[in-house]
Amino acid sequence: MAQFRADPSPQKVDLGVGVYRDPSGDTPVLECVRRAEQLVLAAQSTKSYVAAAGREEYNSAVETLVLGPLHPARTMRRTRTAQTPGGCGALRVGAELIRAIAPTAVVHMSDPTWGNHAPLLGGCGLQLERYPYYDPAAHRLLFDSMLDRLERARAGDVVLVHASCHNPCGADLSLVQWRALAELLARKRLLPFIDLAYQGFGTDLEEDAAGLRLVTEALPEAMIAVSHSKNLGLYRERVGAIITVSENEARADAVQSHVLQIARSIYSMPPDHGAAIAARIFADPALSQLWLAELATMRDRIREMRALLAGQLRESTHGDSFDFIETQRGMFSLLGVPSSTVEALRTRHHIYMTADSRINLAGIMPHNVEYVAAAIAAQR
């Protein structure tokens, strides 16, 4: 990021940033957020703490959004939700909960996975291992290899899974694969820890949570880390939650007690401003409809840039080796090129991406796509 800012080239392109960008290159404040924020501020009479678990109306709405209104775990009162400082806060609280109740458990993460997963979960002393997930050179899921590796996991181990819009590869499990994974998790008595950071950025709110709902209906226990940085654009407000699913109501209360003790030892109370905005949007039908429209605009822009870049690469390379970009979901894909090519794209063409060749499709614009495709073709 610092190198990009310091680069004086007028042709420079930032594909490494981890946030959404609109066609003008900005990360906008959504109109639904502006309106909700005005209502929140007008009604606010104090800046005192809300509660250790956060804002109750936010937590209830998040459960409904993520699990659906009729999820059996909810109707049986087996779910609990605590607001956290973003998805990162949820992941760390979940990691500390694992360490508290099962300190010898191994957390199995996908290879590849988001770069912050390892420090967030491993930083509290948990042992981490990787399972095969995606081959960046062949641009395909390694689902059979994934299951083979997880067959060797011990009962009580934890499996971290991306719910949708996998970061960094953009390749998601199908519902058939989610069912197979759920069967293995149940049979091996493994605990799913599902990271839901991009709900609504793939297909829509329902489809992006379908695999997660399938797993949490099939297993007695699960954890879900939720972020609203992307789908509400509330990046700096740090809005997230951890949802726990337990095998019965009494255990759900015990787990929530642990969660709140852990939260208090890390950050005491969660920030309220962003959660209050989100809760207002979720509760107001007009604001909810506006949000869904703005979310669709962001999602459609990313889809369009995927198609545009894939088509331009097809033309520039005279082949179909980058067609996978169009079929993947969410903001990210891996080009699958070596680090030397990533370096050449930066130094020769002023195109910036992470060292593993992850690109953010929201950094592609109609005015730069031809330049980016030609540069990639030139460095192949």
Active site residues: 114, 195, 197, 230
Which tokens sit at 228? 């609203």
Instruction: Give the integer Cα–Cα distance in Å for 40 and 59.
Output: 17
User: What's the gap between Cα 285 and its chain centre?
Assistant: 25
Q: Which amino acid is at 265?
A: S
Secondary structure of residue 31 in the 3-state scheme: helix
Q: Tell me the C-alpha distance between 366 and 305, whole Å.
A: 8
Residue 206's CB: how many other CB atoms inside 10 A?
12
**Spatial distance between the Cα atoms of 19 and 234, rounded to a whole number of angstroms:** 11
| CA geometry: angle 75, 77, 82, nearest 5 deg | 120
Q: Which structure tokens are listed for 40? A: 């929140």
Q: Which tokens is 196 given?
A: 């839901």
Q: Rounded to the nearest 5°, which phi and psi values hold at 134? A: -145, 135
Among all chains, which residue has been given the structure tokens 């300190």? Answer: 103
For residue 201, give every residue at least 6 positions away whose Cβ sits within 8 Å of its Cβ, in sequence order, or none. 164, 165, 208, 230, 231, 295, 298, 299, 302, 329, 330, 331
Residues 6+ apart with CB under 8 A from 11: 349, 350, 371
Q: Six-digit token pair at 336? A: 């699958």
